[in-house]
Structure 1
Amino acid sequence: MKALRKVVPYLRPFSGRLTLAGVAVLGSMVCGLAIPLVLQQILDGPVARRETGPLVWLLLAVAALGAAEALMFYVRRRLVAGPCTAIEARMRADLFAHLQRLPISFHDRWPSGQLLSRAVSDLATLRRYIAFSGIFLVVNTVTLVLGLVVLFVLAPVLGVITLICAAPLVVVSTQYESKYALLTRRAQDQGGDLATVVEESVLGVRVLKAFGRGPHLARRFAAQARELRGTEIAKVKMVAVLSGSIVLLPELGIAAQLLFGAFGVADGSMTVGTLVAGITVTAYLRWPTESIGWLLAETNQTETAAARYWEVREAEVTITDPERPRELPADGVGAVRFDGVRFAHEGAERDVLSSVDLELRPGETVALVGATGSGKSTLAMLVPRLADVSGGRVSVDGVDVRDLRLADLRSVVAMAFEEPVLFSASVRENVALGAPEVTDEQVREALRVAQAEEFVDRLPWGLDTRIGEEGLSLSGGQRQRLALARAVVGRPKVLVLDDPLSALDVHTEAEVERALRAVLTGVTALVVAHRPSTVRLADRVALLHQGRIAAVGTHEHLLKTSAAYRDQLSTEDEDRAEVAS
């Protein structure tokens, strides 16, 4: 139960209420166990002596105990409702915050459906366990012990019979526990895979419809759903075997108690009241006894859910603030340097980048050109520390980016990606994501710089228009210009653009080019470029070849002096012409 123990710190603020909830449940169980004892007094007292006087008070005692039992169950529910939902909310918030801190490389490895299942279904399992199963596992175990004590006090033979019938349950439950845990983990992982398929099919519905691949994905989904169903049925079969054993053994115990009790009443060694009370206690213990197997199954399932949660929650955050952060110079101008930069993916044998040396002068735009897979996007991500160098250093205004607080670094370095990612929010919220404290006027200024204000004003509600999931209600050029506005709204000194003109048609490219000219004015910019039109916006061009900077110069200079650069641009032109045709 290692993973479940890690949840304890979340329980501590509510330990008082949860303890009271446990006490309330235990109290209700004690009231339930006390009723057979009153019943014994009724049968061996007023009923046996045919006296009706004391009967009223004993019946009132039964009613009072029943009312107290019901009240304590109600109190338990009221006590646990708030803390359990609060614990779930806090753990979910912590997981979400941790996901934001984890490096890009982590998200590249993990399917989104697996993360979603941990944040939703696994935490719901934990909440249910804290609210119900965990409390009852403890209380029902205590109740079983108390019930056995009561039986031994009433008649040792009744206690021995119950104990003999209960002992095999421990063996059966122990064997069942480990097997059920394996099935539970498999089912939860399969559920995560299924969630991934659903999410991808929804986000990629246009592609699926365009290629007529909806039925194919539906068959794939159905196959995975059948696998999950098979696992769930296997779990049900295991629970059925355990439940059958749990139901059978108490029934055999009651039969044995009736047999020995009848002989005891006949020879006078046991009263009728004692026999009835003993059988009533045993019947009362059926729920605690039957529930043990199910509660152990729930414990296994919750342990697996907790383990899945902590797999992500304890994933190492490799990009963090330094212990002794440095400050950027107050008169910083946005100078960027790559000194002997080397980068390799975790576990990879070959470096993506090796000994990269490049300088971006303040206010200069440098275009980064290279073949697909040469490491251009990787080099761009090193500036805002979306990834860290494996060797060498990247500096801004003479300070190694690893020596800066992430918040400080990303306040002076902004980035726009090849695929403009927008969120299901208003235009204002999407642009202000780049600088949360900006005013509407600053948002509008960023839209003007990005040549986006005109089309935003034509939207139904202007800045308040919600643009839909991933911005798919907008054209490619509109999405790209909003992404540029988001990048410049905080007035960064350094701007990193990862191929901002990719996948745009000729007319849209011209619109975004005009926006880029305005955006690049007065900032130090590194632009990953594939198109000659983007390269011409730059003051200098750096050619990245096989993980190294092979040549640096103006576009015209490199055309004259570098065969590799000419080949690269001609290849890009050919690819573009092929796509256009």
Structure 2
Amino acid sequence: MQIRDLPYVDPGLPDARSGPAFLLWLGRRQRSGQLRSLSWGMLHFVSVMALPYGTGLAVQAVVDGSGGSLAVAGGTLAVAAVCIALGDTMLHRTAVTNWITAAARVQQLLIRKSAELGSALTRRVAAGEVVAVSTGDVEKIGWFVEVVSRFLAAALTVVIVCVGLVIYQPALGVVVAVGVPVLALGVLPLLPRATELADIQREKAGRATELASDTVAGLRVLRGIGGEELFLTRYRRASQEVRTAAVHSARMWSVITAVQVLLPGLLLIAVVWHGLGLVRDGRITVGELVTVYSAVMLLSYPLRHFEEIAMAYSFSRPSARRAARVLSLERDTGAAPDTQDGAVPEETDGADTPDRVLKGDMYDPASGLLVPAGSLTAVVCGDPDTAGRLAERLGGHPTEPDGLPSVLLGDVALDEQPLERARAAVLVQDKDPVLLSGTLTELLDVPASGAVAPDRALAAAECGDVLDALSQASLDDDPMGAPITERGRSLSGGQRQRLALARSLVTDPQVLVLDEPTSAVDSHTEAKIADGVRKLREGRTTVVFTSSPLLLDRADRVVLVHEGRAAAVGTHRELLHIEPRYRAVVTRETEAEQQLVGAPRGAPEAAFGKAGTDDIEETS
């Protein structure tokens, strides 16, 4: 896999049982890249370790006065230099490729998991943790995958050099062969503590990132309630804890580095001391001593990779653990459907095929909510969180504990279908939809049936003033080519909401679920949107979670959900007369307040204010 081939057609199915298992899976998925890196690494390291032999040969040639031997030494050094340059260049290229492709694979896996779980992801994992995994953690995981091949090349080179020195000059080679394992393993007693401190640092850094992300996401609310200073103090404290943990971790790694400088120095002293005695006794030549001395000096280069892989693993292990935690989340499946509360979905006959179009009435056995096909059904929930969870269930993403039955579309259980098929049939727009940066044309370029043109969707969503604003920001007065900043920050809340609604209408799904789609617009615009959506979605199933009388009055059917169950069904005006719980949610008045103003219980006027229902209908 090369960088130019990214992204992966299929990043694979990860082993997310644990952090180490995930790292091992990543390494296996990049075997070819690891082998290339290992091969070039071997060429580079072996060529570096060939320099001592050429140097010793040259010194001995000068001592002996042999021109031929000196020429051979020069040729050896020249070949080694060329191989060093070639090996180092290609090792760097392959190692960086391994790093980037591993990081890209993790990014794609996280993106795929986010798309699979939808907004349910942030209800199961903190948003800050998702941010931490998809940014810094991805780089650390890629670093470990990349360093493995270089470490293996370095380790094999050390073994080859030790064996070669024993054969070349046994008297000194044995000293090196005994001393090198001590160098490689001498820091092992320090690694558990270093790893523990690194884990503490990463954990504290992750919490600080989560706190910062969650604070930024709720900044507007914090300003509204004067809570900025409180959260700023919390972040300062968390930041200082990260700094302290980083200093402690750095101290331990500095000790490890010092040990790795000290031990080779001691080995070098031992080799020189013993070697000088051997030269004085005439048992070895000066050239052989230079060769062994130079080899011991250069061994510190491949041995440095032992420290690097230990550091890479200690830093990447908590990152891999967090990534595995996110990737291990599964799209829950409900239990077998039942037929409580009078719903009558028919039994499945097992003849369902991937090409079959999902259609029919929608029914949620867990809440008893029934949505007739082709209708505009409004759902009123007193608890916004209940509304959000129910909207997710209707999209085939059950958020309650396992064991609850699945939502049915016709006679098909949604959460038992492939995600692509469920998404094609049901689209859920949550209460806080996201607009990505780009032009308006790109924003509306979404998978769609083709039956709803962008201009019709924009008109139904009452985006006329948005188009005017975008025209002024466009160089050629074309609103479709005007740039939209990330998350639509240059637009007002109501404008962002209407553009998101237009995007959902363009897709023209069989079932469209809207969670508070007009909460940020004024009542006049809201009434027009209600009429536009009703007209555009005629013949299609539409579910709107709202407590707005303007939307409720235009729905074919209104369902009151109380304490997670469908408690009452009717039209808006009928429920105002007969259902006090419904009236309390829609009018936001208590029974005591209604008695104080003297309004008859259930009077339609209570839902529309003093103007009454006729005035509202005229404004629409």
1:264 aligns with 2:278: yes
Q: Which amino acid aligns with 1:450?
A: A
Letter of the aligned partner of 1:391 in structure 2? L
2:55 aligned to 36, 39, 43, which one? Answer: 39
Q: Give the structure 2 partner of residue 112 of structure 1.
A: 127
How far residue 171 of structure 1 moved from its aligned partner, in angstroms, is: 4.6
**Structure 1 position 507, deviation (Å):** 4.5
| AA matched with 1:484 | L
Is residue 2:273 matched to residue 1:251?
A: no
Instruction: Tell me the residue number matched to 1:337.
Output: 363
Map residues 137-176 of structure 1 onto 2, 5 A cutoff.
Answer: 137-176=151-190
Amino acid at match of 2:257: S
1:491 and 2:505 matched: no
Structure 1 position 536, deviation (Å)? 1.4
Residue from 47, 64, 73 that aligns with 1:49: 64
Check 1:204–1:269 CA distance in 2 against 1; reply closer, same or farther (3 A cut). same
Matches of 1:482 and 1:269, distance apart in 2 = 87
- The reply to whether residue 298 of structure 1 matches residue 312 of structure 2 is yes
* Contact 1:104–1:386 (CA under 8 A) maintained in structure 2: no
Change in 2 beyond 3 A, CA 1:388/1:123: closer
Deviation per CA, 1:310-355: give whole Å up to 9, x if none.
33223323359x99783699898743334xx22xxxxxxxxxxxxx
Match of 1:442 among 431, 453, 469: 453
Which residue does 1:452 correspond to in 2? 463
Whether the 8 Å contact between 1:239 and 1:294 is mirrored in structure 2 is no
Distance 1:249 1:283 in 2: 12
Residue 223 (structure 1) shift: 2.7
Q: Which residue pairs with 2:24 in the alignment?
A: 5
Q: In structure 1, what residue type is equivalent to 2:496?
A: R
What is the aligned-residue identity percentage? Answer: 26
C-alpha contact (below 8 Å) 1:367/1:535 kept by paired residues:
yes
Aligned length: 554
- On the 8 A contact 1:148/1:162 being kept in 2, the answer is yes
What's the TM-score, normalizing by structure 1? 0.83
CA shift for structure 1 position 84:
4.0
RMSD of aligned alpha carbons: 3.5
Contact 1:328–1:399 (Cα < 8 Å) also in 2: no
**Which amino acid letter does the alignment assign opposite residue 313 of structure 1?**
L
Alignment partners' CA distance in 2, 1:181 and 1:546: 48
- 2:482 counterpart of 1:430: no
Asked whether the equivalents of residues 451 and 514 of structure 1 are also in contact (C-alpha less than 8 Å), the reply is no
1:569 aligns with 2:586: yes
Instruction: Report matched runs for 1:172-187 at 5 Å.
Output: 172-187=186-201
1:468 to 485, 495, 506: 485
What is the letter of the counterpart of residue 288 of structure 1?
Answer: P
Task: Note the C-alpha offset of 1:368.
Answer: 2.1
Alpha-carbon separation, structure 2, partners of 1:399 and 1:74: 57
1:395 equivalent in structure 2: 408
Aligned equivalent of 1:348? none
Which sections of structure 1, spanning at least 5 residues, go unmatched? Answer: 343-355
Equivalent in the alignment of 1:227: 241
Q: What amino acid is aligned across from residue 463 of structure 1 in structure 2?
A: M
* Closer/same/farther in 2, CA of residues 479 and 334 from structure 1, 3 Å limit: farther
- Aligned-partner SS, 1:550: strand
**Aligned letter for 1:363?**
G
Q: In structure 1, what residue type is equivalent to 2:133?
A: R
Aligned to 2:46: 30
In the alignment, the residues of structure 2 paired with residue 38 and residue 456 of structure 1 have an alpha-carbon distance, to the nearest angstrom, of: 75
Shift of 1:137: 1.4
CA offsets, 1:440-481, max 9 Å, x none?
x71111112222245425522412223323223323332332
* CA distance in structure 2 between the aligned counterparts of 1:330 and 1:101, rounded to whole angstroms: 21
- Report the Cα distance in structure 1 between the residues aligned to 2:468 and 2:24, rounded to whole angstroms: 55
Once residues 351 and 199 of structure 2 are traced to their aligned partners in structure 1, the CA distance between those partners, rounded to angstroms, is 42
- Relative to structure 1, the CA distance from residue 508 to residue 200 in structure 2 (aligned partners, 3 Å threshold; closer, same or farther) is farther
1:275 partnered with 2:289: yes
Report if aligned partners of 1:152, 1:158 keep a CA contact under 8 Å in 2. Answer: yes
1:11 Cα deviation after fit: 0.6
Distance (Å, rounded) in 2 between the aligned partners of 1:478 and 1:328: 38
Structure 1 contact 477–512 (Cα < 8 Å) conserved: no
Contact 2:57 2:70 in 1 (8 A): no
The one-letter amino acid paired with 2:111 is F
Does the alignment pair 1:365 with 2:405? no
- SS of the residue aligned with 1:375? helix
Counterparts of 2:327 and 2:356, CA distance in 1 = 37
Aligned-partner Cα distance in 2 for 1:330–1:298:
50
Q: Secondary structure at the match of 1:137?
A: helix
Corresponding residue of 1:326? 352
Cα distance in 1 for partners of 2:260, 2:232 equals 41
Question: Deviation digits for residues 393-448 of structure 1, max 9, x if unmatched?
Answer: 53333433345444344334333333343222332333343x35749x71111112
Question: In the aligned structure 1, how far is the partner of 2:179 from the partner of 2:28?
Answer: 38
Q: 1:236, CA displacement in angstroms? A: 1.6
Query: Does the alignment pair 1:532 with 2:549?
Result: yes
**Corresponding residue for residue 353 of structure 1:** none
SS in structure 2 at match of 1:299 = helix
Please say which of residues 292-301 and 188-197 is displaced more in the overlay. Answer: 188-197
Q: For 2:427, what is the secondary structure of its paired residue?
A: strand
Q: 2:388 touches 2:515 (CA, 8 Å); kept in 1?
A: yes
* CA distance, structure 2, for counterparts of residue 478 and residue 43 of structure 1: 80
1:559 aligns with 2:559: no
Change (3 A) 1:202 1:369: closer
Q: Work out the CA distance in 2 between the residues paired with 1:173 and 1:238.
A: 11
Q: Secondary structure at the match of 2:332?
A: coil
CA deviation after TM superposition for structure 1 residue 392, in Å: 4.2
1:423 to 1:562, Cα distance in 2 relative to 1, 3 A: same
Confirm whether residue 415 of structure 1 aligns to residue 428 of structure 2.
yes
For 1:470, the aligned partner's letter is R
SS at match of 1:551: strand
**Correspondence 1:97 to 2:97:** no
Shift of 1:7: 0.9
Letter in 2 for 1:124: E
Distance 2:385 2:313 in 1: 50
Contact 1:144 / 1:289 at 8 angstroms: preserved in 2? yes
Contact (CA 8 Å) 1:467, 1:473: kept in 2 or not?
yes
Distance 1:316 1:362 in 2: 29
TM-score (norm 2): 0.79
With over 3 angstroms needed to count, the CA separation of the structure-2 counterparts of 1:278 and 1:472, relative to structure 1, is closer
Structure 2 unaligned segments of length 5 or more: list them. 1-19, 337-347, 472-477, 595-605, 608-620
C-alpha spacing 1:263/1:405, structure 2 compared with 1 (3 Å)? closer
Answer yes or no: is the 8 Å Cα contact 1:374–1:545 preserved in 2: no
Q: Alpha carbons of 1:393 and 1:240: their partners in 2 closer, same or farther (altered >3 Å)?
A: closer
Match of 1:545 in 2: 562
CA contact (8 A) 1:328 1:397 kept: no
